[in-house]
C-alpha cells in the first residue's frame, strides 16, 4: 500500500497527503485519487482540490468525519489499483512570444544557466510539461519539471506588476500569470491566450494533469492572436 | 423593486455563502466573512440561506430604499439609522419607499449583513453571487459596491403580513421577535478555539507554548484574505520547505519570519507556509467580527470539541429556521 497521511484542514475538509515533494509519481497518485472521487462522489462533496502531492476534499457539515475518512481510504485503494492504466492525456499547445520586450528576465535566466537565449527558447519549447496543480490566483498553472540542472531563483523583490499572459520560471517550475498581479517569478515570454476568463465557459483553459507544449510565435503572430 | 447605493462606506460587496467547486482552478471559496450572520439575515427574510446579501464593513454606508421593502440586518460593526430612528439588528424590518438607511459607528463587531426579502437580483458567476474583487468575479461586475449602484430584487414583495409587525416611527415597522445572537458578539472574550494544524509538530516547544500563552494583535493590514497577527515570533524546530498544498479559511499559517496569519474568506486555494493550527469553524464568524488592533488568544481544543461547537451553531440555525418558517 502506498504511504499517505489524512488530516483535517477545516472542520469540514480533509487532506490526503502522499508526500511533501514535487514528483510526477506522487502527482499521478493525486490525480488518480481525484478521478476516483469524481467517479464515485461522496454525497455532500463540495470541492475536490488537487495539489502537487496532496489533495483536499471539502464536504457539507452533515457528513461525519469518520465516514469521510473511510470513504477516502476506499477511494485511495481503488485509485491505487488503477494507477497503471493511465490514459494518455492530450497535449495542449500554448503559443508564446519570446520577444525580449515580453521576456524581460531572459537575460537574468540565461546568465544564471550559462546558456544563450536561443537555447532557453529551444529547451522551453522542446519539452512537454505536466500541469501539477493550479493555485496562487485563478488559472495559474504550476508546470514542470524544468530540464535537469535548472533551478531558477525567484526575484529578490517581487515585481509589483507582472502582465497578464506572462510565462515565467521559478525553481524547477514554469507557470503562466493569467492576470496582472505582483509576482516573483522570472518572466521569459508572453502568451496571447487568456488562460482564465470568468465570462467564458469553461473559464479555465487548463486543469491539473494536462500536458502542455509551448510553441514559439513571432511578435506579429502574437499581435494578430491577442 | 430596488435599492440604490448612495455611499458605499469603506468596503461593501455582495456576498453569499461561497463559491464551491472551482478551487481546483485556483478560485477561492470567498463569500461572507461571517457566514452565520449572512445566513441569519436571509433566514429572517425567508430567503434561502445562500441568497446574496450586502456585506458592510464598519460604518459610513448609506443606502436608499426605492420601494416599500422587507429587509434585515445581522452581524455588527455599525448602527443602522433611518433618519433619527435607530433600527434593530436580527429582526425583520419594513422600510417604506424613499427611506435612506445610514450606518453609524458602533462599539462592537466589524461586519453587518443586509438581506432583502426576495433577494438581490445579482447574476451568479461560477455558481455564486459572491464578489471576489482580486479577479473581478461575481457581485456587481466583480467589484465592491460604489455610489450609484442599483441593486434590484429578484421577487416583488413577498407574503409578510404588515399587521404582525409593530410600528416604531412613521411607517417604519419591525418584528416583535428577534433572532438570538449566535456569534457572541457582545460577549467579553478574546479566546479563539483552535485545533492543532498539520505542521504543529514542526514548531519548537517554546514556540508552541508561546502560541497558546501569549496575546496577538490583529494587524492593520488584515483584510478579507487574511488576518496578519502581531506578537511574539513563532519558530520552527528547523527550516522546513513545503510544497504548495490546499489551504482554506481558518488555517493559521506562520511566515518564515515567525508571524502568524489566519486565513479568512478570500484565502487563496493553496499555500506553502507551515500550518500551526486551524480555527474551529464556529469561531471564524466571531473572528470576522473582530477589528484590526484588537487582541486575541488561541485556546487549544481537540477536534471532537471543535465538532461539538460547530454542531451547536448548526442546530441553532436549524431551530431558528424552523421557528420562522
B306 and B212 in a common domain: yes
CB neighbours of B117 closer than 8 A, spacing ≥ 6?
Answer: B45, B46, B47, B69, B70, B71, B92, B153, B155, B157, B158, B160
The answer to whether the CB of B60 falls within 8 A of the CB of B162 is no
Q: Do B270 and A65 touch (CB under 8 A)?
A: no
B38 and B158 in a common domain: yes
Instruction: Pick A51's closest partner by Cβ from B250, B270, B306.
Output: B270
Closest to B314 in 3D by CA, of B112, B35, B54:
B35
Residues of A in contact with B246 (CB under 8 A): 9, 13, 15, 49, 51, 54-56
Q: Do B24 and A11 touch (CB under 8 A)?
A: no
B270 and B176 in a common domain: no
pTM equals 0.94
Closest to B208 in 3D by CA, of B304, B298, B306:
B298
What single string gives the DSSP state of each residue in A175-204? EE-SS-EEE-SEEEEE-SS-SB-TTSSSSB
CB neighbours of A171 closer than 8 A, spacing ≥ 6?
Answer: A151, A152, A154
Q: Do A135 and B307 touch (CB under 8 A)?
A: no
B122 and B73 in a common domain: yes
CA separation for the pair A55, A214 (Å, rounded): 27
Burial of A108 (0-12, 13-18, 19+ CB in 10 A): middle
Neighbouring CB atoms inside 10 A of A57's CB total 26
Longest CA–CA separation in chain A, Å? 58
Joined together, the cell numbers standing for residue B93 give: 424590518
CA separation for the pair B53, B31 (Å, rounded): 10
Give how many domains chain B has, as a whole number. 2
Instruction: Pick B243's closest partner by Cβ from A21, A61, A137.
Output: A21
Whether B170 shows a pLDDT value over 90: the answer reads: no
State the pLDDT at residue B278.
98
Domain end: B182, B208, B226, which one? B182
Whether A14 shows a pLDDT value over 70: the answer reads: yes
Q: Do A198 and B247 touch (CB under 8 A)?
A: no
Closest to A174 in 3D by CA, of A156, A195, A151:
A151
Please name the residue of chain B whose CA is at the shortest distance from the CA of residue A64.
B307
Q: Which residues pair with A58 in a beta bridge?
A: A13, A47
The H or E element that residue B72 is part of is strand B69-75
B163 and B25 in a common domain: yes
Domain end: B152, B182, B212, which one? B182
CATH fold for domain A5-81: Gyrase A; domain 2 (3.30.1360)
pLDDT over 90, % of chain B: 87
Residues of B in contact with A58 (CB under 8 A): 20, 23, 29, 248
CB neighbours of A88 closer than 8 A, spacing ≥ 6?
Answer: none
Q: Do B246 and A55 touch (CB under 8 A)?
A: yes
Min Cα separation A56/chain B (Å): 6
What is the band of B156 on the pLDDT scale with cuts at 50, 70, 90? confident
State the pLDDT at residue B251.
98
The string of pLDDT tens digits covering residues A113-164 is: 999 999 999 999 999 999 999 998 999 999 999 999 999 999 888 888 999 9
The domain locations on chain A are 5-81, 91-225
Q: Do B306 and A52 touch (CB under 8 A)?
A: no
Domain end: B182, B210, B235, which one? B182
What is the band of B188 on the pLDDT scale with cuts at 50, 70, 90? confident
The least confident of A1-5, A200-204, B8-12 is A1-5
- By residue count, chain A amounts to 226
Report the CATH number at residue B195: 2.40.100.10
The yes/no answer to whether this complex scores an ipTM above 0.85 is yes
Mean pLDDT score across all residues of chain A: 93
Whether B277 shows a pLDDT value over 70: the answer reads: yes
Instruction: Pick B278's closest partner by Cβ from A10, A53, A142.
Output: A10
Closest to B285 in 3D by CA, of B11, B8, B40:
B40
B101 and B60 in a common domain: yes
Reading phi first (left if > 0) and then psi (alpha if -120 to 50, else beta), residue A114 is in left
Query: Taking the mean position of all CA atoms in its chain, how far away is CA B157?
Result: 26
State the pLDDT at residue A2.
67
B317 and B216 in a common domain: yes
B242 and B103 in a common domain: no
The answer to whether the CB of A24 falls within 8 A of the CB of A46 is no
Instruction: Provide mean pLDDT across the span B115-120.
Output: 96
B198 and B177 in a common domain: no
Min Cα separation B142/chain A (Å): 10
The answer to whether the CB of A31 falls within 8 A of the CB of B223 is no
Domain range holding B303? 191-321
Residues of B in contact with A34 (CB under 8 A): 24
What is the band of A36 on the pLDDT scale with cuts at 50, 70, 90? very high
Q: Do A51 and B246 touch (CB under 8 A)?
A: yes
Q: Do B250 and A10 touch (CB under 8 A)?
A: yes
Q: Do B26 and A138 touch (CB under 8 A)?
A: yes
B137 and B7 in a common domain: yes
What is the band of A1 on the pLDDT scale with cuts at 50, 70, 90? low
CA separation for the pair B288, B276 (Å, rounded): 20
As assigned by CATH, the class of the A91-225 domain is: mainly beta
B301 and B255 in a common domain: yes
B111 and B196 in a common domain: no
Amino acid at each position: 500500500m502506498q504511504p499517505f497521511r489524512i488530516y483535517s484542514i477545516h472542520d469540514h475538509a480533509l487532506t490526503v497527503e502522499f508526500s511533501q515533494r514535487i514528483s510526477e509519481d506522487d502527482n499521478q497518485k493525486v490525480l488518480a485519487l481525484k478521478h476516483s472521487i469524481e467517479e464515485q462522489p461522496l454525497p455532500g462533496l463540495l470541492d475536490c482540490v488537487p495539489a502537487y502531492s496532496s489533495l483536499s476534499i471539502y464536504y457539507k457539515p452533515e457528513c461525519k468525519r469518520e465516514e469521510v475518512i473511510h470513504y477516502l481510504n476506499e477511494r485511495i485503494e481503488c485509485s491505487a489499483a488503477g494507477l497503471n492504466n493511465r490514459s494518455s492525456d492530450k497535449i495542449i499547445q500554448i503559443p508564446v512570444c519570446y520577444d525580449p520586450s515580453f521576456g524581460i528576465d531572459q537575460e537574468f535566466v540565461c546568465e544564471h544557466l550559462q546558456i544563450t537565449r536561443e537555447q532557453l527558447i529551444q529547451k522551453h519549447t522542446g519539452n512537454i510539461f505536466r500541469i501539477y496543480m493550479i493555485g496562487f490566483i485563478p488559472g495559474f498553472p504550476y508546470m514542470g519539471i524544468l530540464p535537469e540542472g535548472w533551478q531558477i531563483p525567484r526575484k529578490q523583490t517581487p515585481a509589483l506588476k507582472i502582465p497578464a499572459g506572462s510565462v515565467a520560471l521559478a525553481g524547477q517550475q514554469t507557470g503562466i500569470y493569467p492576470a496582472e498581479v505582483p509576482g516573483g517569478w522570472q518572466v521569459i515570454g508572453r502568451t496571447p491566450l487568456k488562460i482564465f476568463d470568468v465570462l467564458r465557459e469553461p473559464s479555465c483553459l487548463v486543469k491539473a494533469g494536462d500536458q502542455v507544449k509551448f510553441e514559439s510565435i513571432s511578435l506579429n503572430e502574437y499581435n494578430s492572436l491577442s | 423593486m430596488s435599492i440604490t447605493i448612495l455611499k458605499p462606506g469603506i468596503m461593501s460587496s455582495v456576498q453569499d455563502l461561497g463559491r464551491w467547486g472551482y478551487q481546483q482552478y485556483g478560485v477561492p471559496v470567498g463569500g461572507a466573512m461571517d457566514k452565520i450572520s449572512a445566513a441569519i439575515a436571509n433566514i429572517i427574510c425567508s430567503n434561502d440561506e445562500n441568497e446574496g446579501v450586502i456585506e458592510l464593513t464598519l460604518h459610513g454606508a448609506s443606502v436608499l430604499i426605492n420601494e416599500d421593502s422587507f429587509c434585515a440586518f445581522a452581524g455588527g460593526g455599525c448602527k443602522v439609522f433611518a433618519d433619527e430612528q435607530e433600527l434593530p439588528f436580527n429582526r425583520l424590518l419594513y422600510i417604506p419607499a424613499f427611506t435612506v438607511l445610514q450606518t453609524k459607528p458602533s462599539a462592537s463587531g466589524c461586519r453587518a449583513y443586509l438581506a432583502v426579502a426576495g433577494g438581490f437580483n445579482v447574476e451568479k458567476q461560477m455558481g455564486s453571487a459572491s464578489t471576489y474583487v482580486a479577479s473581478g468575479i461575481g457581485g456587481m461586475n466583480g467589484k465592491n459596491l460604489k455610489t450609484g449602484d442599483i441593486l434590484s430584487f429578484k421577487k416583488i414583495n413577498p407574503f409578510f403580513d404588515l399587521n404582525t409587525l409593530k410600528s416604531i416611527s412613521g411607517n417604519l415597522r419591525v418584528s416583535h421577535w428577534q433572532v438570538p445572537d449566535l456569534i457572541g458578539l457582545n460577549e467579553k472574550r478574546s479566546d479563539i478555539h483552535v485545533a492543532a494544524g498539520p505542521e504543529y509538530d514542526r514548531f519548537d516547544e517554546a514556540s508552541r507554548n508561546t502560541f497558546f500563552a501569549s496575546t496577538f494583535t490583529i494587524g492593520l493590514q488584515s483584510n478579507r484574505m487574511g488576518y496578519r497577527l502581531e506578537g511574539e515570533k513563532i519558530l520552527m524546530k528547523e527550516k522546513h520547505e513545503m510544497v504548495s498544498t490546499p489551504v482554506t479559511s481558518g488555517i493559521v499559517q506562520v511566515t518564515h519570519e515567525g508571524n502568524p496569519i489566519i486565513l479568512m474568506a478570500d484565502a487563496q486555494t493553496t499555500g506553502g507556509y507551515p500550518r500551526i493550527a486551524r480555527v474551529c469553524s464556529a469561531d471564524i464568524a466571531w473572528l470576522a467580527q473582530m477589528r484590526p488592533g484588537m487582541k486575541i488568544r488561541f485556546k487549544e481544543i481537540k477536534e471532537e470539541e471543535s465538532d461539538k461547537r460547530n454542531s451547536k451553531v448548526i442546530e441553532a440555525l436549524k431551530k431558528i429556521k424552523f421557528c420562522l418558517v
